[in-house]
Structure 1
Amino acid sequence: MSKRIPTNIITGFLGVGKTTAITHLLKSKPAEEIWSVLVNEFGEIGIDGAMLDQLDNVHVREVPGGCICCVAGLPMKIALNMLIARTRPDRILIEPTGLGHPEEIINTLTGEYYDNVLDLCATLTLVDPRRLSDERYIGNASFNDQLALADIVVANKTDLASEQDKEIFNEWVQQHGKDKSGIEWISHGKIDPQWLLKPRRERAAQQGEQHRSALAPRQEVALPVALAEGESWLCRTNQGNGFYSVGWLFHADIPFDFNGFFLLLSGLSVMRFKAVLNTSQGRYIFNAENGVLSVNQPPLLDDGEPLESRLECIDDKPIDIAALQASILALQLLPGFAQR
């Protein structure tokens, strides 16, 4: 290639708002530029790509089903190579799973194979200040090393943070943030595109081995999940690093009761639930994090083609899949569909 492609890793733990932030960046990019996004998800269904792949001059490729950093970068290399070859982007954004560890991703992108292809710029790590007092987060190796390897730490959702939350974050900055290129405060994922231009610095992970030993290695590239002919819906599960996921894919012709689904998620006690859903009131994005639910409408696609509904639940304890699935199926407005 005639010049190296500017590339940024945008990381952060579960529910911090990475996809919202990337969507903001994609809407803010120069109209004539082509940007490509590599999305990695812990769950098998793949939802973030469906949220992002709706903008002009933007190309998205997903690697679902686990952390792309844990098999010598093989899944990431294959997906990234295809993305570069097919889209010839002006910039690449990489969104690892919230449970992922960025060390091996950085090593791969700065290794000999990509040295003349990619220009790895600043790594941005989003953090919710409310989580710096939660042991489930601060006791997690990936959470801590996402912050350790960040060039720029971005406090997101600051409109929801209390004064105590902000004080705890400021204490963290005093202890760990002195070598960072930036400490920023935002709400609603409104990252300044200029931050992408800052250079990357060499940084050391603190708990990388702990993350790798907790995950079963994945030797193959997970293919995007798709419904077979005549199949109305399917369910897929995954687990690793002390976390569990279950996801569903539903045919585009199956709508769900909006109010019923809103009530279901409002009372659901899990770390993370997200869905892009066809409902009685239109297509909506549902995001639930630790009991807090938000609902938004995605932008309409120009071609108007109907899209499947995608749902994913992640928790740090085993999920009662049968009970949750029964609740979801009960909200279908076209009963009688069966899983093949």
Structure 2
Amino acid sequence: MKLISPTQAVPTHIISGFLGAGKTTLLKHLLSQKPENEVWAVLMNEFGQIGVDQQMLPQTQGYQVKELLGGCLCCSSQLPMQIALSRLLSETKPDRLFIEPTGLGHPAQLLEQLTEPHWQQSIAMRALVTVVDGSRLHDANWSKQNLYADQLKAAQIIVVSHADTMDFADEQALAALKIEYQAYQQSWLMSGKEQISLQQIDQPYIGTERKIQPLLKIQKTFPSGQSQPEIKQLPYHYVETTQGYSVAGWKLPKRWQFDFYPLLDLLCEQKNWLRIKGIFNTNQGWKTFNFNPQQFNYQSSEEGIDNRIEIIVQDQRDWLVFETALMNCRIDQQ
């Protein structure tokens, strides 16, 4: 008989990744490593109403698989996910849990939900894994999407699938990707003929401190001593801090328009940064900015879902001066 302590937190892995990246294939291999005396559980999320991925997983004793169909458990109402997860934990009492969100999901939002205090006695979060298809790294239409970037930023471990089929262009793209995300200090694992072991991903989750607050100019209007509210709606400013690095970001409404040349001047004038990335609605059309210390790249882009910018630095600084200058580049009617 299996005895479970009521206070035992279940090691929990999130396996994320873009559509077709190889999440389910990785999950199948990880499940094959289950010790005979353990019970493992899987919570899968598919965007559509017909579940397919569940049928691809082992249908043998010792696994419990539950699907959450329709919508995205990362960013839709939390209630269906909370109910499904609570039932899975209480009914199965697993020794280990895997969660595979849809490829259209934002894993950072799911991680934010599962690291809230009321889950901490039930689940022990492990390092978030994002899978990327190594054989498609050369495809800019695939790799430059905002969702793809969001999934990479959320990852503590990045698994590069189909590594044995990568060509020279993919290898170059991977090298550039590692440089682009080096501030996040992620582990990169190659998966091809050599499969990933559970030990390689079974690492403690390292939390990222993130504060989402009103724009800094708005924050100055609050009485001294009053804590600024944390918000979700646009516009907002946020700061993430992890392992000695800070990421300052702004998300602004899509309808806001900026004067391209003053905006470009502002970004080029910044000092002592590691990375600047942004997308803006400008009077010259939608523009993306992708700056590293060696190269300042900007180009026309497809219409974005919002205006956004992130600046990575290795020190603490007062961002009000930058935000004020950024707002001065805005040219649409207030």
TM range (shorter): 0.5 to 0.7
The 1:146/1:68 distance shift into structure 2, 3 A limit, reads same
Instruction: Map 1:125-204 to 2 at 5 A.
Output: 125-187=130-192, 190-203=195-208
* More RCO (CA 8 Å, sep 6+): 1
Q: Percent identity?
A: 38
- 1:94 corresponds in structure 2 to 99
| Paired residues of 1:72 and 1:104 also in contact (CA < 8 A) | no
The 1:112/1:24 distance shift into structure 2, 3 A limit, reads same
Structure-1 separation of matches of 2:164 and 2:66: 31
Matching residue's letter, 2:131: L
Number of aligned residue pairs: give it.
207
- 1:69 corresponds in structure 2 to 74
Structure-2 separation of matches of 1:115 and 1:201: 14
Residue deviations 1:206-235 (CA, integer Å, cap 9, x gap): xxxxxx99xxxxxxxxxxxxxxxxxxxxxx
Q: Kindly report the root-mean-square deviation, in angstroms, between the aligned alpha carbons of the 2 structures.
A: 2.1
- 2:14 corresponds in structure 1 to 9
The 1:22/1:191 distance shift into structure 2, 3 A limit, reads same
| Paired residues of 1:126 and 1:154 also in contact (CA < 8 A) | yes
Q: Could you say what secondary structure the match of 1:94 adopts?
A: strand
Could you list the runs of 5+ residues in structure 2 that have no partner in the other structure?
1-5, 211-231, 234-334
Residue deviations 1:299-321 (CA, integer Å, cap 9, x gap): xxxxxxxxxxxxxxxxxxxxxxx
| Paired residues of 2:161 and 2:191 also in contact (CA < 8 A) | yes
TM-score (norm 1): 0.57
TM-score (norm 2): 0.58
**Larger Rg belongs to:** 2
In the TM superposition, residue 204 of structure 1 has moved relative to its aligned partner by: 7.6
Structure-2 separation of matches of 1:204 and 1:133: 32
Q: Out of 30, 36, 43, which is 1:31 matched to?
A: 36
Q: Out of 6, 15, 27, which is 1:22 matched to?
A: 27
Could you list the runs of 5+ residues in structure 1 that have no partner in the other structure?
206-211, 214-340
Q: Which of structure 1's runs of 4+ aligned residues deviate more than 6 A? A: none
In the TM superposition, residue 152 of structure 1 has moved relative to its aligned partner by: 0.5
In the TM superposition, residue 189 of structure 1 has moved relative to its aligned partner by: 8.3
Residue deviations 1:252-309 (CA, integer Å, cap 9, x gap): xxxxxxxxxxxxxxxxxxxxxxxxxxxxxxxxxxxxxxxxxxxxxxxxxxxxxxxxxx
Structure-2 separation of matches of 1:143 and 1:203: 19
Structure-2 separation of matches of 1:77 and 1:126: 24
Instruction: Map 1:92-131 to 2 at 5 A.
Output: 92-131=97-136
- 1:311 corresponds in structure 2 to none
Q: Could you say what secondary structure the match of 1:10 adopts?
A: strand
